[in-house]
């Protein structure tokens, strides 16, 4: 008798959840990504106990069609890619078809969705199985409520930090969504108190004022430029507003918040000698590029990417920041010594 068995679905989903659902903020991230991919222009997130008691995300996006509802919770089930070619030309934030399956394996989930303004559907899912379904409100869009996160994975629950820290991580993720999608109206509420509210009017300066305060928003310099492969736009704060860590530098590639050491270096190089040692700037930079030039399938959380022609992009970013600060007369022009 062989020893190898295929894992049952619930166990397989829990293993995936170990990577995708690290903490409450990961659930918020995955659900908001889905709302953005569904074309919503208004997205509301409400949390209780920093998401451990509940996370409710509602949107006015496309909704999910009735026949797709059970599939949405399936593992490796997605409407976003279909072919091998698609995997290397990702235009959406999601594509792995893993988030809902993972989340439903470590919490109790209620989905309310309506795809056509006529009839809405509600399902409750527990241990990856639909346990209840009924008809519900008929307004186009989706609401997903995640309750009792990690109730069945005590080890993960123990790993979760204080509510204060976890709410901070949620706020952080929402701030970055707001900066990368200034055309979407975002609301974040914690215990009924509003933590973030943006207008969705497309003005990055206004979003940055919400996130970092007016003093910084008044001292932002716009950058904008392109090469054949990359288009870069954004705002960089004048160097008097430095911070003690890299956390205030937000980089987005095709609308996705990413972390990239080399691009961070390129930003710092753009500030030249204006940054004191050990201090970092406040910036939000949007990079638009052919999705074929970036591989986002590096890690389950999709925050790491591999870029083709990275040096070209680094030079562009450094030069744009240099020029912008030069325009503000912050960098003295080089003079050739006699």
Name the residues that contact ligand ADP, by CB under 6 A: 30, 34-35, 38, 59, 61-64, 72, 78-80, 94-101, 142
Does position 36 interact with Mg ion (CB under 5 A)? The reply is no
Closest distance to Mg ion from the beta carbon of 219 (Å): 36
Binding site partner of 142, from ligand ADP, Mg ion, none, Cβ cut-off 5-8 A by kind: ligand ADP
Q: Which is nearer to Mg ion, 101 or 274 (CB)?
A: 101
Closest distance to ligand ADP from the beta carbon of 21 (Å): 11
Does position 51 interact with Mg ion (CB under 5 A)? The reply is no
Q: Which is nearer to ligand ADP, 79 or 189 (CB)?
A: 79
Binding site partner of 61, from Mg ion, ligand ADP, none, Cβ cut-off 5-8 A by kind: ligand ADP
Separation of alpha carbons 121 and 136, rounded Å: 5
Closest distance to Mg ion from the beta carbon of 248 (Å): 27
Closest distance to ligand ADP from the beta carbon of 32 (Å): 9
Size of the site for Mg ion (CB under 5 A): 3
Closest distance to ligand ADP from the beta carbon of 16 (Å): 10
How many CB atoms are closer than 10 A to CB 327? Answer: 12
Binding site partner of 234, from Mg ion, ligand ADP, none, Cβ cut-off 5-8 A by kind: none
Q: Is 311 exposed, middle or buried (0-12, 13-18, 19+ CB in 10 A)?
A: exposed
Does position 254 interact with Mg ion (CB under 5 A)? The reply is no
Separation of alpha carbons 211 and 207, rounded Å: 6
Does position 26 interact with Mg ion (CB under 5 A)? The reply is no
39: left (phi over 0), alpha (psi -120 to 50) or beta: left
Residue 179 and residue 250 in contact, taking contact as beta carbons nearer than 8 Å:
yes
Only one of the segments 32-40, 193-201, 278-286, 312-320 lies at the binding site for Mg ion (rule: CB under 5 A); that segment is: 32-40
Does position 99 interact with Mg ion (CB under 5 A)? The reply is yes
Extract the runs of DSSP E, i.e. beta strands, from the chain. 42-48, 54-59, 108-114, 120-126, 129-136, 141-147, 185-190, 193-197, 220-226, 230-237, 249-253, 256-258, 283-289, 294-295, 306-307
H helix count then E strand count, the chain: 11, 15
Closest distance to ligand ADP from the beta carbon of 226 (Å): 29
Out of 14, 16, 29, 34, name the contact with Mg ion by CB under 5 A. Answer: 34
DSSP string, 13-26: HHHHHHHH-SSHHH
Q: Which is nearer to ligand ADP, 59 or 286 (CB)?
A: 59
Query: What is the longest distance spanned by two Cα atoms in the chain?
Result: 86
Out of 94, 200, 281, 300, name the contact with Mg ion by CB under 5 A. Answer: 94
Q: Which is nearer to ligand ADP, 35 or 204 (CB)?
A: 35
Separation of alpha carbons 151 and 162, rounded Å: 17
Q: Which is nearer to ligand ADP, 100 or 325 (CB)?
A: 100
Q: CB nearest ligand ADP: which residue?
A: 94
Binding site partner of 64, from ligand ADP, Mg ion, none, Cβ cut-off 5-8 A by kind: ligand ADP
3-state SS, residue 63 = coil
Q: Which is nearer to ligand ADP, 116 or 191 (CB)?
A: 116
Residue/partner pairs of 257-263 with CB below 8 Å, 24 or more apart: 257/173, 257/176, 257/177, 257/180, 257/303, 258/303, 258/304, 258/305, 259/303, 259/304, 260/304, 260/305, 260/307, 262/310, 262/314, 263/310, 263/313, 263/314, 263/317
Does position 63 interact with Mg ion (CB under 5 A)? The reply is no
Q: Which is nearer to ligand ADP, 27 or 307 (CB)?
A: 27
Query: Which residues form the interface with Mg ion (CB under 5 A)?
Result: 34, 94, 99
């Amino acid at each position: 008798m062989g020893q190898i068995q295929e894992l049952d679905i619930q166990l397989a989903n829990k293993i995936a959840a170990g990577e995708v659902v690290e903490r409450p903020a990961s659930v918020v991230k995955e659900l908001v990504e889905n709302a953005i991919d569904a074309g919503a222009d208004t997205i509301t997130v409400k949390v209780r106990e920093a998401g451990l008691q509940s996370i409710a995300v509602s949107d006015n996006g496309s909704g999910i069609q009735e026949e797709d509802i059970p599939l949405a919770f399936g593992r490796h089930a997605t409407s976003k890619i279909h072919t091998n070619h698609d995997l290397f030309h990702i235009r959406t934030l999601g594509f792995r078809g893993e988030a809902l399956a993972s989340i439903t394996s470590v919490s109790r989930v209620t989905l309310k969705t309506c795809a056509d303004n006529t009839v809405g559907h509600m399902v409750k899912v527990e241990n990856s199985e639909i346990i209840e379904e009924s008809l519900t409100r008929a307004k186009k869009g989706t609401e997903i409520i995640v309750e009792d996160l990690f109730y069945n994975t005590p080890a993960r629950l123990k790993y979760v930090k204080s509510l204060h820290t976890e709410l901070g991580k949620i706020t952080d993720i929402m701030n970055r969504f707001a900066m990368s999608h200034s055309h979407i109206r975002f609301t974040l509420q914690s215990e009924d108190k509003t933590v973030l509210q943006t207008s969705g009017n497309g003005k990055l300066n206004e979003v940055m004022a919400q996130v970092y305060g007016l003093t910084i928003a008044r001292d932002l310099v716009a950058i904008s430029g392109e090469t054949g492969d990359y288009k870069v736009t954004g705002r960089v704060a004048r160097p008097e507003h430095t911070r003690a860590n890299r956390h205030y530098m937000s980089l987005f590639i095709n609308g996705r918040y990413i972390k990239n050491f080399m691009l961070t270096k390129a930003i710092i190089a753009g500030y030249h000698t204006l940054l004191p040692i050990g201090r970092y700037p406040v910036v939000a930079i949007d990079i638009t590029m052919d999705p074929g030039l970036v591989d986002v399938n590096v890690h389950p959380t999709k925050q790491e990417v591999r870029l083709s022609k990275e040096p070209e992009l680094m030079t562009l970013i450094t030069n744009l920041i240099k020029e912008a600060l030069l325009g503000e007369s912050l960098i003295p022009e080089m003079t050739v010594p006699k």
